[in-house]
Chains A and B, each alone.
Chain A
């Protein structure tokens, strides 16, 4: 067996079938049942629990299952019938971690006698092995062999090979064996319908990144984070969106109090690589993803008591951090670790900059970007004068969105 090097910290994982095969003979009920049993195959050997959540669930499931065709916005485009059948992403904190994609152009079957089509249960067991952290195996009887080996028989009788069990237990430990405890399996009945959340829990549809109007934007370790409500997107230095689906704010920034609903500004502090998230009159300091200490008042950075910020950025040219509220800004000296005297000043000193920007950040190339609504203003490296063609629409340049003049976005 092979371990991917990543593993889920928790022992209960949520899942949902987000899209179903378009042309398969399998009903949606049967697809859900097969997924339920494929996950249960790993659960009985590891003590992991899997919970199906419905569409209205307030939390994004850990494992989102899709049937997709060709290029489907990740780095593994499918190739039509045959060839590549499916893939899954290893455990982690990205929105896409754990997600499992099946090629919708395959003929997905269950229990077909003549070997026709591709057995969905067998492939699902394999892919969920990846979603739990296993790589491919060369062991003769392993389900994690890279090539499709045909159906594996009856889902509620199927048991993982020793090689797969050993790999799984490397990741999640052994299941405490109670003497008469045999891995049991419920009869192949459709799983109970996903639990509907209590009526009062808000259903949180994920926001549309192409609308702009972000709460905060920051360049953190070369990646650009776009915060909106309890979500955020990440853009890698290459300009590639990590995932079109946003990640959960509170799941990634460990220790951020649940009461913090909106991040108003963010920046990475040059001197100690701390990451500061601002909300209301306070800010929180993170090292990597862990919160460090208690929230701090904005007065520490030179703002009057009770004041809040719209935008914060650190300018490498002078080592100063700019804290913007409305049409004014304060300045903080990172090296001296104290506010500069003689502030606030008028934001018009940044020629062309919009008042009350959503946030400001400095790109890896050293240019300064003011963001507001669905537009950005670019200040070339070292300049305090916006480029003459500012503002520009931010979607196409930053977030893999169609140009604003284009028609409504193509359906998923």
Chain B
């Protein structure tokens, strides 16, 4: 069983995922529920961008990657058109 991430790692991870567009910004009035499935999907997309195995877990290598040098801009641009080669290949 993969080692459970510490509470601090989860908190840092969620902050990082929110900053780079993988999770919606928190809304104090809605305190929108972040289902574990949503968090897992967000982690998988981040792992794809980082070229990591898409485990959906905040495992140590994923946490370490969040500290790697990078561009400041978000990775997921909200409504922007996101074209995946896979979808194009299927077409």
Q: Please give the residue numbers on chain A whose beta carbons come within 8 Å of chain B beta carbons, in ascending order.
A: 1-5, 76, 78, 82-88, 106, 118, 123, 126-127, 130, 135-136, 138-140, 145-148, 163, 167, 170
Contact A146 B20 (CB under 8 A): yes
Given contacts A3-B83, A136-B49, A140-B51, contact A84 B77 (CB under 8 A): no
In the complex, which residues of chain B have a beta carbon less than 8 angstroms from the beta carbon of A1? 83
Give bound CA distance, A389 to B85, whole Å: 62
A84 to B70, CA, bound (A): 5
The reply to whether B72 and A4 contact each other, CB–CB distance below 8 Å, is no
B51 touches A145 (CB 8 A): yes
Contact status A146-B70, CB under 8 Å: yes
Instruction: Check if B83 sits within 8 Å of A85, measured CB to CB.
Output: no
Q: Which residues of B contact A82 (CB under 8 A)?
A: 67, 69
Q: Given A138-B49, A140-B51, are A147 and B80 also a contact pair (CB < 8 Å)?
A: no
Asked whether, in the complex, the Cβ of B82 is within 8 Å of the Cβ of A83, the reply is: no
- Give every chain A residue within 8 A of B70 (Cβ-Cβ): 83-85, 146-148
A127-B71 contact in complex given A2-B81, A3-B83, C-beta closer than 8 Å: yes
Given A138-B48, A146-B20, A146-B75, do A2 and B80 touch, yes or no (CB 8 Å)? yes
A-B contacts, 28 of them at CB < 8 A, read A2-B81, A2-B82, A2-B83, A4-B77, A76-B73, A78-B72, A84-B70, A85-B72, A86-B71, A86-B72, A87-B72, A106-B69, A127-B71, A130-B71, A135-B73, A135-B82, A136-B49, A136-B74, A136-B75, A138-B49, A146-B71, A146-B73, A146-B75, A147-B50, A147-B65, A147-B68, A147-B69, A167-B83
B7 at the interface (CB under 8 A from A): no
**Which chain A residues border B75 with CB–CB below 8 Å?**
135-136, 146
Q: Is B79 engaged at the interface, CB distance under 8 Å to the other chain?
A: yes
In the complex, are the beta carbons of B49 and A145 less than 8 A apart? yes
The minimal Cβ–Cβ distance linking B44 to chain A, given in whole angstroms, is 11
C-beta contact mask, B11-49 vs A, less than 8 Å → 1, else 0?
Answer: 000000000100000000000000000000000010011
Tell me the bound Cα distance from A167 to B70 in angstroms.
20
A135 to B79, CA, bound (A): 12
Q: A123–B69 Cα gap in the complex (Å)?
A: 11
B49 to chain A, nearest CB (A): 5
Contacts of A2 in B (CB 8 A): 77, 80-83
Give the docked Cα–Cα distance between A5 and B78 (Å). Answer: 10
Closest approach, in angstroms, between the C-beta of A236 and any C-beta of chain B?
Answer: 17
Cβ-closest 9 pairs across A and B: A87-B72, A84-B72, A148-B69, A76-B72, A136-B75, A138-B49, A135-B77, A138-B48, A5-B80
Is the CB–CB distance between A136 and B73 below 8 Å? yes
Residue ID in chain B nearest A77 by CB atoms:
B72
> Given the complex of chains A and B, what is the CA–CA distance between A1 and B75 in angstroms?
11
Q: How far is the CA of A332 from the CA of B69 in the complex (A)?
A: 59
For B80, the chain A residues whose CB sits under 8 A away are 2-5, 135
Give the docked Cα–Cα distance between A78 and B85 (Å): 32
**How far is B25's CA from A57's CA once the two chains are assembled, in angstroms?**
41
Q: Give the complex CA separation of A83 and B70 in angstroms.
A: 6
CA distance A127 to B45 in the complex (A): 21
From B48, B67, B81, B85, A3 is in contact (CB under 8 Å) with: B81
> What residue in chain A is nearest B51 (Cβ atoms)?
A140
Q: A170 — which chain B residues lie within 8 A by C-beta?
A: 83
Cα distance A78–B70 in the bound complex, in angstroms: 11
- In the bound assembly, the distance between CA atoms of A1 and B65 in angstroms comes to 21
Alpha-carbon separation in the docked complex, A84 to B77 (Å): 18
Q: Which of B50-91 contact A (CB under 8 A)?
A: 50-51, 65, 67-75, 77, 79-85
In the complex, which of the residues B50, B73, B77 contacts A5, with contact meaning CB atoms closer than 8 Å?
B77
Closest Cβ of chain B to A36, distance in Å, is 21
Q: How far is the CB of B65 from chain A (nearest CB, A)?
A: 7
Give min CB distance, B23 to chain A, whole Å: 15
